[in-house]
Structure 1
């Protein structure tokens, strides 16, 4: 399904399509560039080498020593069913999913690994229905859907990335931004989060050990959405 998109991701050429254009070549106003940046933006710019840092959202940009997250690989598979799982995938496909772009990051302590996924939806200037539908499907299955398929990157700390301990998903706001961003987070050493017993658990005794992991996933999603806003305005 949608296999053609897989052939468009040219990692060696540093662009998301064979006909990528730089921001300077775009004839569209920046806000309209949001519709096409997923295929026109150079791949190293779309998935930056670093995210977050001591100076805020931009604090670690282009600075691996100051960054919170460092990229270790970009997936060549962009088919929707290769990037999402279960209920999230179903909702994305029902709402016109065109592609799912993924990159894997490791945090500065080398303890956490995460895969960020950008769900590409049909272009539209202000329609948010598709984005909202996917978000609601995610909310309805917070604890029984892995959300993002991990991208294990050979030869890196993420080579065995498999077990997801937490996840988050949020629509990208604004006009001409037909995207949803999601992330799954796990442990580099393969630790699998579980329920905490007795007094260490919450009132229901469920999913407490996953809360901090999901919080880190939420922070990463927020960082990436801010990055996409910068791309839309030509500030990468």
Structure 2
């Protein structure tokens, strides 16, 4: 069930080279130089751990003891145009998006599915922070952009995960020496959609309230990956 669907195009350097590079991180003299390129050099399992959760300590996000989500698959396509949608795609492209790395996870209850996107932006710029500001604004918008294109993973609980089943979005920027933003979209494994309550049931912000738990989970997962990416810089 937890097989990887592709390997991010081998992250531009080959799996063995990436593995060797990540093993030598501790001896790298300049973390400032490594931050902007870690997305090319880290292995898939370090960028997108097989399980992930809110850590008790900063370096434990991928510790199976705190696991809240299990990885279903990783996208081979790293293009910005295929990884993002709507206004989110337009914003990322305007800011110089270089790549979008995606993976799909299912929570341990087997009820919620999420696709996580690591948005790679130009180094030595404010692009990541601007992208983070955009994502923050979307989290409180009446009609937020769906943001991330869901990654469907055949043969898993995410086999029916589609764009029209997105219920929530959230995101954050890392910034500084790490020119990345994290965007997440969430939905129900069974395909239930939120925010479409009929008639008076959907009045007086009921649709917004129905969507809020999905938004909150997306935001929390983006913060977890914020921690994970920071830890990779060493």
Are residues 76 and 28 of structure 1, via their aligned partners in 2, closer, same or farther at CA, if it must alter by over 3 Å? farther
**Residue correspondence of structure 1 range 101-180 to structure 2 within 5 A:** 101-124=101-124, 127=125, 129-138=126-135, 139=137, 142=141, 143-162=143-162, 163-173=165-175, 175-180=176-181
Q: Once superposed, what is the RMSD of the aligned Cα atoms?
A: 2.7
Deviations 1:35-89 (A, max 9, x none): 11000111111111111158466556342x6410111100001000111011110
- Aligned equivalents of 2:29 and 2:66: distance in 1? 34
CA drift of 1:135 comes to: 3.3
Are residues 78 and 107 of structure 1, via their aligned partners in 2, closer, same or farther at CA, if it must alter by over 3 Å? same
CA drift of 1:179 comes to: 0.5
- Aligned equivalents of 1:176 and 1:144: distance in 2? 28
Structure 1: gaps (5+ residues)? 1-5
Are residues 30 and 133 of structure 1, via their aligned partners in 2, closer, same or farther at CA, if it must alter by over 3 Å? closer
Bigger drift between 223-232 and 54-63 goes to 54-63
Are residues 202 and 58 of structure 1, via their aligned partners in 2, closer, same or farther at CA, if it must alter by over 3 Å? farther
Deviations 1:117-168 (A, max 9, x none): 01101122xx3x2123323444258424110000011111001111111000
Deviations 1:78-129 (A, max 9, x none): 00011101111001111110000000111010100000001101122xx3x2
SS of the aligned residue for 2:68 comes to strand
Are residues 169 and 216 of structure 1, via their aligned partners in 2, closer, same or farther at CA, if it must alter by over 3 Å? same
Structure 2: gaps (5+ residues)? 1-5
Are residues 71 and 8 of structure 1, via their aligned partners in 2, closer, same or farther at CA, if it must alter by over 3 Å? closer
2:52–2:66 Cα contact (<8 Å) kept: no
- Are 1:208 and 2:209 matched, yes or no? yes
- Aligned equivalents of 1:132 and 1:54: distance in 2? 24
Q: Which residue of 2 aligns with 1:219?
A: 220
Are residues 31 and 23 of structure 1, via their aligned partners in 2, closer, same or farther at CA, if it must alter by over 3 Å? farther
Are residues 158 and 52 of structure 1, via their aligned partners in 2, closer, same or farther at CA, if it must alter by over 3 Å? same
Q: Paired residues, what number?
A: 219
- Aligned equivalents of 1:230 and 1:8: distance in 2? 20
2:54–2:224 Cα contact (<8 Å) kept: no
CA drift of 1:193 comes to: 0.7
